[in-house]
Amino acid sequence: MQTFDRSTTAFQELIGTMRQQWANQLYPALHRQYQAQGAGRDITDSAAAGALVADSALYRWFCFIERHYQRMKYSDPRWGLVVALKADPESTAAQLHPAVDSAVLELHPELPIPEYYRAIDIHQHPGNLVGADYDGLMYQASATSIHPNTRRFEVHERFAQLLQQRGTFDSILNMGCGFGKCSFPIARIFPQAQVTGIDLSAPCLRLAAHTVQSLTLPNVRFIQMDALHPGFEPGQFDLVTSTQLLHELPVAEIHQLLKESFRLLQPGGQMMHLDFRTHQPWQQFLIEGHSVRNNEGFLPAFNHMDIEAAMTAAGFNDVKVEAYAETPGSTDADWPFWRLPWTLFSARRPLDLAS
Amino acid sequence: MIRTDSPKTSKRAEFEQLFFDSESTDRLGQMLLVMASELHVLRDRVRCLEFLLANNHSIDIRELDHFEPSPQQARVLHNDRETFVAHLFDVLDGHAQSTSGLGHPLAASAPGT
């Protein structure tokens, strides 16, 4: 992990605490206000849910803090992650350019970066993840405060455990692997499998390759590759996964990703993508607002698309869309704190469609 | 080598998201966040300094109230004040934003945006 000077550390810790209190103090108060306003009413859509709180002072501060704590985390001119990482280029270079075995890391600088990826500073990460060499370190540092009320990377460790419950796999593709936060627990839990992480972001992949050298995980490799146009042979994997990738794609690209997931799977192989979904009016109102405030421009369209039909159209069967608990109890009806509506999208390539 | 002339910027010429009734109120809110940050970092540093001083038995903490800075130290304090005020005023032009993509053709169909 990147270390910062005392002032930057104190500032980033403050941001993390703000995030925690926003989720555990402001959100419950806002939810209570919504419940009081909505008592006895038939609320059928997100607009009706939002109308109950939209003019309240509490809601405005809730939105304001959601927007600006994240902006400051990255872009504060004194202690934001951008200035902190730019201030110490030697340390950053030392972390990102170790001698890496070519069997662990394969970069393709000529890979075209799609327009949708450049168009938006997803979750307010300036320039997205392809703008500077230190983007992987910046995303890694930022990820410490993304999911309140979970242990660091608990989401991904639990996902790997869930995969283990669904089968035994030998060849696993982790799409949109970033700096490896999901690839590592998968590789750890399936030591007999070869795990391949692919991503558009060279800075993230360099960090992943650097990190894996200290983890004693000989069964994971990273390749710079577009998940929508992966250069693998058909049927090369028995499990295709991703976490938090689908909602960062426009709808047409999601269809393409499902099509590729199908092509890359062996007959009988499984696809499991972890992402977000809700059709509950209050949650939908929150997620639509979150998409604006946190620059998640494609999330609302993803939430609205008929993903089950899209998976079926891609050729899959056993199509399932299930709520996912990122930490114990979080999907319980009385969970009091703010959370993203984690959802598992899974399906299987039929045995009888072998190519 | 790491690029030092990174295209990254903390400010982009994009629209400003407003949550209150006027730009003035939103920017006042942002100044409050800056103030909170400055205060917290300062408190953290002072507390850490106290820990270090106490650990080293190197100072009688009462000396602080009678401290007179040297000219060089006074310049450091002056620079600190200027940096603090610049930080506080940084939000007032409304460009302390990141690229949301709102209005981009790829995201335009998204409801709620």
Alpha-carbon distances, residue B23 vs A68, A104, A284 (angstroms) = 14, 50, 27
Kindly report the number of other CB atoms within 10 A of residue A95's CB atom: 20
Give me the pLDDT at residue B112, please. Answer: 36
Measured between alpha carbons, how far is A343 from A244 in angstroms, rounded to an integer?
10
pLDDT tens string A212-270: 888 889 999 999 999 999 999 999 999 999 999 999 999 999 999 999 999 999 999 99
Query: Which chain B residues are closer than 8 Å to A46 by Cβ?
Result: 112
Residue that wins the pLDDT comparison between B87 and A179: A179
Residue that wins the pLDDT comparison between A253 and A134: A253
Judged against a pLDDT cut of 80, whether residue B107 lies above it is answered with: no
Asked if B40 has any chain A CB less than 8 Å from its own CB, the reply is yes
Cα Rg of chain A (Å, integer):
20
Amino acid at A92: T
Which whole number is the average pLDDT over A274-285? 97
What is the three-class DSSP state of A55? coil
Using CB atoms, pick whichever of A78, A92, A297 lies closest to residue B101. Answer: A297
Tokens representing residue B58 in the block: 């190197």
Give me the pLDDT at residue A254, please. Answer: 98
What is the three-class DSSP state of A196? strand
Amino acid at B103: G
Query: Which chain A residues are closer than 8 Å to B20 by Cβ?
Result: 60, 64
Asked if A88 has any chain B CB less than 8 Å from its own CB, the reply is no
Judged against a pLDDT cut of 90, whether residue B98 lies above it is answered with: no
Kindly report the number of other CB atoms within 10 A of residue A171's CB atom: 20
A115 burial (CB, 10 Å; 0-12 / 13-18 / 19+) is exposed
Using CB atoms, pick whichever of B8, B41, B90 lies closest to residue A126. Answer: B8
Those residues whose C-beta lies under 8 Å from the C-beta of residue B92, and which sit 6 or more positions away, are B27, B31
Query: What residue spans define the domains of chain B?
Result: 23-93
ipTM metric: 0.81
Asked if A249 has any chain B CB less than 8 Å from its own CB, the reply is no
Measured between alpha carbons, how far is A31 from A281 in angstroms, rounded to an integer?
13
Q: Which stretch of A127-131, A220-224, B96-100 has the lowest confidence by average pLDDT? A: B96-100
Alpha-carbon distances, residue A134 vs A97, A125, A204, B31 (angstroms) = 11, 12, 8, 28
A279 burial (CB, 10 Å; 0-12 / 13-18 / 19+) is exposed
Q: Where in chain A is the domain with CATH 3.40.50.150?
A: 150-353
Superfamily for domain range A150-353 = Vaccinia Virus protein VP39 (3.40.50.150)
Measured between alpha carbons, how far is B105 from A213 in angstroms, rounded to an integer?
41
Tokens representing residue A170 in the block: 């030998």
Give me the pLDDT at residue B57, please. Answer: 77
Query: Which chain A residues are closer than 8 Å to B36 by Cβ?
Result: 14
- Chain A residue with minimal CA distance to B1? A93
Q: b/e map of A3-30 (b: 16 or more CB within 10 Å)?
A: ebeebbebbbebbbebbeebbeebbeeb
Give me the pLDDT at residue A350, please. Answer: 96
Using a cut of 0.90, tell me whether the model's pTM lies above it: no
Task: Fill in the DSSP letter of residue B66.
Answer: G
